[in-house]
Amino acid sequence: MQLPEPSFDALAASRALQDRIANDIRRNSGWISFAQYMELALYAPGLGYYSGGAAKLGKDGDFTTAPEITPLFGATLAQVVADLMAQTSPQILEFGAGTGKLARDILTELDAMGFAVHRYCIVEVSGELRARQEETLRGFPQVIWLDRFPTAFSGVVLGNEVLDAMPVNLVVKAEAGWQERGVALSPNGFAFQDQLCDAALAAAVAAQIPHAEELPPGYVTEVHPIAAGFMHSLAAMLEAGYDESGHGGAALLIDYGFPVHEYYLDQRAQGTLMCHYRHHAHPDPFYLPGLQDITAHVDFTSMARAAIDGGLDLLGYTSQAAFLLDAGIGDLLLRTSPDDLLRYLPQANAVQKLISPAEMGELFKVLVLGKHAQLPHKFARNDRSHRL
């Protein structure tokens, strides 16, 4: 791979993390699950990708998210957030708020609409990103940061590209059945090594992968018990919020992924795992751990099922393009006159990137869940909940 060279300090941090992971492998009889490896690579205190100090987002980072592309993304979400807060509570809780730009754009638009947000809570594990958020949101006193998942909450929960960064377990179809693909040590560093699935993972495979027995030997994919656990916790939090306050809640989760019948296809025989380093995408999770993002596509069927099992209602599921168009992004774009080409064309191009099927419009999906809340009826026309 022809990837940019890291700085001396960055390389030293990655080597320290590699030593930490290697020691964990040795202490665990020479093998850890890929989920354990991914958790350390992303979240090991002070060294992991999200818990260390490297820039993640924007031109100097490793990837760009929708809020970084245009403020119209947040302004459009604000239209939906306002409707949902009117049904629940004037509070927002965002997981993984990036640079804080989404929060700023939503709060700015809600303020222009005359809608007061009492509290905007952010749960952020990255010290580097929290520092950027504090700078970006300096003018919004209603923003507070939380160190952990609240036990109870009513209002609107936001998660933009959060589920894809949760550690996944890798499994591979062997002649004798499914095995877990974990991480061991080799003379060249880290290497994949397979072993029998334990009972819990075997149950997750059986529950998550339809027709698992029909997939061919050598088929590699991911299962998502940690993300499913997050959805159970989300449901419990909104349930507790309703029990305490009598007010409901809703969650908007935006990410790239598929429903289950599209996730486990023959042509996806090597899974969906992908790494991002300095705006280069590649498949090697062992390259410079701590300096690159590691992600997997979201199985939205499993996420919806976990939330429903936890007591939430499925309010909607659709493509990002359909959701943004139904929410009125076209009208917001026209706040800038098409005759003003210097201002209009860059915004139109940004919106096109968000909604084009060849860009983010179709790969990214929006899953909406709730407790005593409903989406406006206009979202029903493009709803794909039946495809989950």
Answer yes or no: is pLDDT of 58 > 70: no
User: Per-residue confidence at 57, pLDDT binned at 50, 70, 90?
Assistant: very low
3-state secondary structure of 231: helix
Answer yes or no: is pLDDT of 70 > 70: yes
pLDDT tens per residue, range 97-130:
999 999 999 999 999 999 999 999 999 988 888 9
The per-residue pLDDT for 62 is 55
**Number of domains the chain is built from:** 1
In the 8-state DSSP scheme, what is residue 317? E
Question: What would the mean pLDDT of 61-73 be, rounded to a whole number?
Answer: 86
Q: Domain range spanning residue 242?
A: 1-388
Q: Which residue carries 């990708």 as its tokens?
A: 49
Q: Tell the burial category of 144 from Cβ atoms under 10 Å away from its Cβ (0-12, 13-18, 19+).
A: exposed
The per-residue pLDDT for 54 is 59
Q: Find out whether 69 and 354 touch, Cβ atoms under 8 Å.
A: yes
Q: What CATH number should be reported for the domain holding residue 55?
A: 3.40.50.12710
pLDDT tens per residue, range 7-19:
888 899 999 999 9
Torsion sign (Cα): 90, 354, 303, 230: negative
3-state secondary structure of 251: strand
> Phi and psi (nearest 5°) for 19?
-65, -40
Q: Find out whether 239 and 310 touch, Cβ atoms under 8 Å.
A: yes
pTM: 0.95
Question: What would the mean pLDDT of 180-191 be, rounded to a whole number?
Answer: 97
3-state secondary structure of 89: coil
Backbone Cα Rg of the chain: 21
pLDDT tens per residue, range 250-292:
999 999 999 999 999 989 999 999 999 887 889 999 999 999 9
Answer yes or no: is pLDDT of 217 > 80: yes
Question: What would the mean pLDDT of 229-255 be, rounded to a whole number?
Answer: 98
